[in-house]
Structure formats: structure tokens, C-alpha cells
């Protein structure tokens, strides 16, 4: 109704309906995971898909809202005759050049394609490839299997034993022992994170793009060369970056906020969803991920200032600081904190009592 009659559409009612819809899409799966207590892996997978769908629906509603306003302004300027001529001679969802025009994009087929496409930002016409290269589909599928197996092997053989032995020094606040576990965890966690990045952003998204003949395959840029944290966040996850800029950052600027205020709200929004993806599946609210995301804000300012110092820039100080922070403080610390709290939460208090032989009842050697 809103698309076929944009002039007389009541935007308040339309946006209220979109708000209720997107809110239910986010709230219902969150409540299901919280109250049904599935495993952390299954819960994280469900919420990950939920957040993606939520962001897609927001983008779909926002972009079509802009097109609806543009159609209304065009109609008010006497452009209805031109639109009628276009509709008369095309009479399909596409114009003579094969490009979809509003409101002929409002179809289930168009919506389903956007839901499956490896992007979070909606547009009327996506670039399309001429055909599916099945040899590439097979190659990507094989690499997904190999990389996924390698991630599982590294996690089981090198990460799990380390974090299990870290519970005792954390409970005793043994800083030397905690530091030792962090050092041991740094290398395998860095490898796992890089492999997961390669698995999802390069292999999986390209596989989906190939099957859908989706032409825009730039999912990341050279974030590993970032000299500031602002540069890293702009390069490492382009689908999310484009969504944040299109649907959050620029609307906040148009609403009258300053750049610093808009950036603060963008990081806060990101922090909330990072915490949602971790805390709800593990059924504990600790706000480690939330605090880590907000902690990026001063790092963005500091590294941006340091990058203007010639000596610091020539020595690649920003890139060294980024990798040191990322490899040591970021991933290993988050894994240790969340695992320890989850272990304590899901085990009886006497599971960590030790016998005279020096072996804890959980099977972990006492430090």
C-alpha cells in the first residue's frame, strides 16, 4: 500500500510497522536462546543469523523509505506522467535496460534475493555476474571444509587445554600465571581468528556470491596494514561498515549530531550487538565485549594523533601497536574471561577443590 500510493502514505504508521517487525525479529530469537538454554555454539549461530536478518530488514525499510519520499517529491513536481510512461512501456519489474525501478522492486523474489545476498545494505540493482562458475564453487567448498577442520583442530588441541588450565590462576588472581596463559594463548588464537576471517569473509561470502551470481565481491580490504584503529574498522568488515555509514552514521549527522557524537553512538550500537552475540548464548551478562568495543574510541583518537608524527609513521608504530593490541589484549583476554565465568557458572563450587595429590576434582592439575 505504501509503495503503490506513496503520496497518501502515512509514514508514521509504516515506520511503526517496520519497528515492530524488526523488533520481533531481534527479540524473539534472543528470548528463545536465553530461556531454552541451547549450547553456546548453537545459540551464537542463531543470534548471528538473527542480527544479520535484523540489519537487512532495517536497510530494506530505510532504502525504500528514501525511494518513497523521492517518488512523492517527483509526483508533487509533476513527474507522474513520466512515471506513467515508463510503467506503460516496461510493464514489468524491470525497465528497458534491465534495471529494476521503484516500486517494482517490492516483490518477494527481490526481498528473498537480498536476504540471501552477501551484503547488508539494500539497493534496487545489485551487480550480477553472467553465469555461475561451478569449478569455483567446488574449490571454495573444498577450502571451507579444510579450513573449518583446521580451526576445529587448533581449538581442541591448542586452545581448550590452555584455557582449562587458566581457571585456577584466575580464581587465585595469580597475575604471573594469568600472564603466562595469555602468552601461550596468543599464537593459537591469532591463527584461529585469521582462519575464521578467511573462512567467512573470503570463502563463505564468495561461495554465496557465486551461487547467486552476486557481482560485488569486495568484502574486506587490506586491514592488516592499518596504522590506526579507525582505518582497521573501515577496512576489515566492509558489509557492516557500509551499513553503519548508510543507516546510522550519516542519519545521525543529518539529525544535527557532531562527528564525535555520531561515532560514539555507532560504537555503542556495535558494542551492544557484540555483547548480545556473546552474553546471551553463554547466559551471563559480563559486558566484556561491550567494554572492549567502547575502549576502541580512545584508541581511535590516540592512534590517529600518533599517525601524524613522522617518526612514528615511518617506523610503522601504528601497525605494530594494532597487532600487539589485537593479538595479546584482544582475543586471548576475551576468551579467558568469558570461559572462566562460564566455567564457574556451570559447575558446582566444589568442582575446583583440590585433593592432597594436587589434582582438582575437575581433572586439572593444581598450580
List active site positions.
274
Give the Cα separation of 274 and 37 in Å (integer).
19
Give the Cα separation of 87 and 208 in Å (integer).
33
Q: Phi-psi bin for 260: left (phi > 0), alpha (psi -120 to 50), beta?
A: alpha
Give the Cα separation of 239 and 219 in Å (integer).
6
Q: Which of 3, 45, 47, 5 is nearest to 26 (CA)?
A: 47
Q: Which of 319, 292, 323 is nearest to 303 (CA)?
A: 319
Give the Cα separation of 216 and 257 in Å (integer).
32
Give the Cα separation of 179 and 148 in Å (integer).
29
Q: Which of 302, 118, 150 is nearest to 215 (CA)?
A: 118
Give the Cα separation of 201 and 222 in Å (integer).
13
Grid coordinates representing 46 are: 542463531
Amino acid at each position: 500500500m505504501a509503495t503503490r500510493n506513496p503520496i497518501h502514505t502515512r509514514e508514521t504508521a509504516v515506520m511503526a510497522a517496520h519497528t515492530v517487525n524488526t523488533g520481533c525479529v531481534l527479540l524473539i530469537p534472543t528470548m528463545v536462546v536465553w530461556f531454552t538454554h541451547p549450547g553456546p555454539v548453537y545459540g551464537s549461530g542463531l543470534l548471528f543469523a538473527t542480527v544479520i536478518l535484523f540489519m537487512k530488514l532495517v536497510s530494506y525499510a530505510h532504502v525504500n523509505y528514501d525511494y518513497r519520499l523521492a517518488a512523492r517529491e517527483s509526483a508533487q513536481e509533476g513527474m507522474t506522467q513520466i512515471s506513467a510512461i515508463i510503467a506503460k512501456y516496461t510493464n514489468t519489474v524491470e525497465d528497458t535496460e534491465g534495471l529494476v525501478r521503484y516500486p517494482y522492486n517490492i516483490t518477494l523474489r527481490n526481498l528473498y534475493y537480498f536476504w540471501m545476498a552477501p551484503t547488508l545494505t539494500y539497493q534496487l540493482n545489485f551487480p550480477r555476474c553472467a553465469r555461475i562458475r561451478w569449478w569455483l564453487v567446488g574449490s571454495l567448498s573444498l577450502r571451507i571444509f579444510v579450513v573449518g577442520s583446521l580451526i576445529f583442530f587448533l581449538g581442541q588441541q591448542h586452545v581448550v587445554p590452555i584455557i582449562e588450565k587458566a581457571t585456577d590462576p584466575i580464581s587465585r588472581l595469580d597475575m604471573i600465571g594469568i600472564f603466562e596463559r595469555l602468552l601461550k594463548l596468543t599464537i593459537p588464537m591469532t591463527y584461529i581468528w585469521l582462519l575464521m576471517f578467511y573462512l567467512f569473509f573470503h570463502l563463505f561470502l564468495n561461495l554465496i556470491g557465486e551461487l547467486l551470481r552476486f557481482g560485488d565481491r569486495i568484502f574486506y580490504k587490506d586491514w592488516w596494514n592499518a596504522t590506526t584503529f579507525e582505518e582497521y574498522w573501515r577496512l576489515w568488515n566492509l558489509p557492516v561498515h557500509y551499513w553503519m555509514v548508510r543507516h546510522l552514521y550519516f542519519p545521525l549527522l543529518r539529525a544535527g549530531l557532531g562527528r564525535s557524537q555520531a561515532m560514539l553512538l555507532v560504537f555503542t550500537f556495535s558494542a551492544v550487538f557484540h555483547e548480545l552475540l556473546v552474553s546471551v548464548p553463554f547466559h551471563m551478562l559480563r559486558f566484556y565485549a561491550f567494554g572492549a568495543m567502547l575502549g576502541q574510541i580512545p584508541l581511535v583518537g590516540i592512534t590517529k594523533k600518533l599517525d601524524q608524527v613522522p617518526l612514528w609513521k615511518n617506523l610503522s608504530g601504528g601497525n605494530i601497536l594494532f597487532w600487539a593490541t589485537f593479538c595479546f589484549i584482544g582475543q586471548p583476554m576475551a576468551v579467558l574471561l568469558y570461559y572462566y565465568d562460564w566455567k564457574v557458572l556451570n559447575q558446582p563450587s566444589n568442582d575446583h577443590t583440590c585433593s592432597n595429590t594436587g589434582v582438582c576434582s575437575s581433572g586439572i592439575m593444581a598450580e
